[in-house]
Structure 1
Amino acid sequence: MQIGPYRIDPPVVLAPMAGVTDKPFRLLCKRLGAGLAVSEMTTADPRLWQTRKSLKRMDHEGEPEPVSVQIAGYDPGMLAEAARLNVANGAQIIDINMGCPAKKVCNVWAGSALLQDEPLVARIVKAVVDAVEVPVTLKIRTGWDRQHKNALAIARIAEDNGIAALAVHGRTRADKYEGEAEYETIAAVKAAVRIPVLANGDIGTPQQAKHVLDVTRADAVMVGRGAQGRPWIFREIAHYLATGEELPEPSPAEVSTILLGHLEHLYTFYGEPAGVRIARKHLGWYAKDRLENGAFRHVVNRAEHARDQWQLTHEYFQALQDGWRIAA
C-alpha cells in the first residue's frame, strides 16, 4: 500500500489508540512487523501543547519512518496549525481523528462526533491538507449510529479534498466497541473511492485479517485491541498473508524477552513512577489469556518501583517457561 511517497509493507498497521500507542509501543510493534504505527491522538488545542503529556506524545526522536501522527479537534484553523506544528516536529504523515467514540471527545464536537456535520468535515480536511506538504490520512467510523451511516459520503469528501488514505472502523459511534464489526460498509467505501482504504475492527488473528481483506478488498488491515498484549500479531499476520502458513506461538521465554524490553523502554521514556503505572495495563494484557493471570496481576500491580515490577515479571515468565518445557 502506498501513502504519498511511503510504501507501507507489510500492509498491516497499528491503529491509533489513546493511552496505548505511545512511542515505546509504536517502536515495539514496528520492530515486530507493523508496516506503519500511528501515534495516539494529539490535541489541536495550542493551550495544551506544552503539557508533559503532549510533549511525550510529540516525541518522535529515533522513530523509523514513516512517522504518522494523529491530531484531534473540531476547528479547521486549529487543526491546520496542529498539523504544521507536528510536521515541524517530525511527522511525515498527518492523520485526522474522526473515529474516536469517547464521550469526552465527542462532547467537544471532535472525534466521531464530526461525522454528523459533513460540511465541517470538508472544511477540516481541506484546511489540513492545504496546511502541510506531507500526506494527510483520515480515520472514521461507518457513521454516527446505525440509522445514520454516512461513511460513503465522508469517503467521497475525503477523496475530493486530497486525503491520501482512509481508515474505516466497521462500527458506528453509537456502537462504541460493542458487538461485532461489520465489513460491508468498508467494502462499499473501497468500491467507491480510488484512494487506499484500511479496514479496522475485530482483527485479532491472521485468519481474520485475511478474511477482512478478502471481503472488503481493502488495501491494508489496521489492528487495534488485537495488538494489546500480543504485539507479535503483526509478524503473524504478515507471514500468513504472504505464505498462508501460521507462525508458532511464541514461547514464554520469547514473550518474556519482548515484555521485559518493553518495560525497560517505558521506565526510560516516562521515568518513575509514571513508567511503572503505565506498564501495569500492558502487563495485564500480556497475561490476560493465562490461567495465572489473576494472581500475577495482584502481585505485579502492587510493585511501586521499576526494579520490583521488572523482577516480578521476570520470575513469573521464568516459571511459565519452566512449565512450558516440561509440557513440551
Structure 2
Amino acid sequence: MLTIGPHQTANVVALAPMAGVTDLPFRRLCARFGAGLLVGEMVHSDPRLRESRKSQQRRRHDMEIDPRSVQIVGNDPHLMAEAARYNVSCGAQIIDINMGCPAKKVCRKAAGSALLADEPLVASILRAVVSAVSVPVTLKIRTGADPEHRNGPSIARIAEDAGIALLSVHGRTRACAFSGEVEHDTTAEIVKAIDIPVLANGDIRSADDARAVLAHTGAAGVMIGRAAQGAPWLPGLVANAIADGSSAAPALATQYAVMLEHLKELHAFYGEFSGSRIARKHIGWYLDGHPGLQEEKRLFNRLDGAAEQILFLDTLFNELDQQDLAA
C-alpha cells in the first residue's frame, strides 16, 4: 500500500490523471476493479474558469472513492494556492500538482511540464500550495525539459523540501512528449535521491511491465495511464499480480458488460448529446482491444443518439455470444 499523509491506499497501483479520460464514470470503473489511487482530470487554477461546465464536471467526486485526489495546473503560486484551497473545500482529500503534461496548449502558458525548466518557480508553487491546505499534496513530473536537461532528481529534492507527500514520474522529458522509448533510469535516480514515495509512470501496459519497472527503479509503486484506456480493469489486475501473482483479465462477457455500463454512465453524466460523442473514443478504445472488431468501431462512430449506441452494442454482444456458442 501507499501512505499519503493520513491516507493508505489498498495497493501500490495508481490511475494517472488524463484530461478527457479520467472523468467520474471512468474512475468509478477503475475503482471497482481495484485501482489503489485514482487521480481526476486536471482543473485549471484560473478562477475565471472555475464555474465553466467542463471544470464543474471535472471536479465531481464519488464520495465512495477514498482518497479523492484532484489535480490542479497553473504557473502562478498565489492562484495555485487558491485553487488548492477551493478544491479542498469541494471535497478533495489530496491535491496533485501537474508539472508533467507535455501538451502544447498547456506548455504555451508556461504550465505543466514547461515549469521543469524554472526550478525557482517550481519551488515557489510547491511551497505555496503545501502551505495553503491541510491535506497532502502530491506532484507529477517528467524527467526534465529535454534529454539534455534531465533535472528530475533536482526537482524531486525541491519537492521533498517543500513538503510534497508523493511524487509520480513519467519517464520521458517534456520534449519527448509520448514518442520514443520511455526511460526509467532517471526515475531510479530520483528514488535514490529522496525519501518520499515515488510512483514510476510511462508505458506500463501489463503486470510484467510493472514488475520490471519496480525492480529497475525501486519505486514504491506504479502509475498507469494510456494503457488503461478501454481497459479500466488494468490497474487492479496489475495490483493483484504484484500482490499475489494473479493476472487474469476479465472474461470477454465481463468486458462487454463493462463497456455497455460505461456507455450508459457517459450518457447520464454528460447528457445524451455530449455523452454520445464522448462515448465514441471510449468505446473505440475498448474495441481496439479486439482487432477483429475494427469495422464495428467505424460503424459505432457514425451513431449520434444514446439509444442507437446502446442498441448497437446490445446487438454486437448478442452476435458475439451466438458465435461463441456455435464455436
Residue pair 1:171, 1:201 contacting (<8 A) in 2 also: yes
* Partners of 1:68 and 1:275 in 2: CA distance: 24
Q: How many residues align?
A: 326
Question: Where does residue 25 of structure 2 map in the other structure?
Answer: 24
Asked if residue 109 in structure 1 is aligned to residue 110 in structure 2, the reply is: yes
Q: Letter of the aligned partner of 2:261 in structure 1?
A: G
Question: Where does residue 97 of structure 2 map in the other structure?
Answer: 96
Asked if residue 271 in structure 1 is aligned to residue 256 in structure 2, the reply is: no
Q: How does 1:129-168 map to 2 (within 5 A)?
A: 129-168=130-169
Asked if residue 8 in structure 1 is aligned to residue 9 in structure 2, the reply is: yes
Question: Where does residue 213 of structure 2 map in the other structure?
Answer: 212
Q: How does 1:44-193 map to 2 (within 5 A)?
A: 44-193=45-194
Question: Where does residue 262 of structure 1 map in the other structure?
Answer: 262
Residue pair 1:252, 1:317 contacting (<8 A) in 2 also: no
TM-score (norm 1): 0.97
Distance 1:251 1:322, change over 3 A: farther
* Partners of 2:218 and 2:103 in 1: CA distance: 29
* Partners of 1:67 and 1:184 in 2: CA distance: 30
Q: Letter of the aligned partner of 2:42 in structure 1?
A: M
Deviation at 1:245, TM superposition (A): 3.3
Question: Where does residue 253 of structure 2 map in the other structure?
Answer: 253
* Partners of 1:322 and 1:162 in 2: CA distance: 57
Residue pair 2:30, 2:236 contacting (<8 A) in 1 also: no
Question: Where does residue 312 of structure 2 map in the other structure?
Answer: 312
Share of identical aligned residues, percent? 54
Q: Letter of the aligned partner of 1:160 in structure 2?
A: D
Residue pair 2:67, 2:93 contacting (<8 A) in 1 also: yes
Q: Deviations over 1:33-77 (max 9, x none)?
A: 100110010000000001100011111143411000000000000
Q: Letter of the aligned partner of 1:103 in structure 2?
A: K
Q: Letter of the aligned partner of 2:287 in structure 1?
A: A
Higher mean Cα deviation, 78-87 or 229-238?
229-238
Q: Letter of the aligned partner of 2:294 in structure 1?
A: G
* Partners of 2:57 and 2:247 in 1: CA distance: 36
* Partners of 1:63 and 1:111 in 2: CA distance: 29
Residue pair 1:155, 1:189 contacting (<8 A) in 2 also: yes
Deviation at 1:290, TM superposition (A): 1.8
SS in 2 for 1:167: strand
Q: Letter of the aligned partner of 1:292 in structure 2?
A: G
Residue pair 1:92, 1:134 contacting (<8 A) in 2 also: yes
* Partners of 1:104 and 1:19 in 2: CA distance: 14
- Misfit runs of 4+, over 6 Å: none
SS in 2 for 1:148: coil
CA RMSD of superposed structures (Å): 1.1
SS in 1 for 2:40: coil
Question: Where does residue 321 of structure 2 map in the other structure?
Answer: 321
Deviation at 1:325, TM superposition (A): 4.3
Deviation at 1:289, TM superposition (A): 2.9
* Partners of 1:325 and 1:4 in 2: CA distance: 51
Deviation at 1:319, TM superposition (A): 2.2
Q: Letter of the aligned partner of 2:218 in structure 1?
A: R
Asked if residue 292 in structure 1 is aligned to residue 299 in structure 2, the reply is: no
* Partners of 2:32 and 2:224 in 1: CA distance: 15
Q: Deviations over 1:120-143 (max 9, x none)?
A: 000000000000000000000000
* Partners of 1:304 and 1:62 in 2: CA distance: 31
Higher mean Cα deviation, 169-178 or 261-270?
261-270
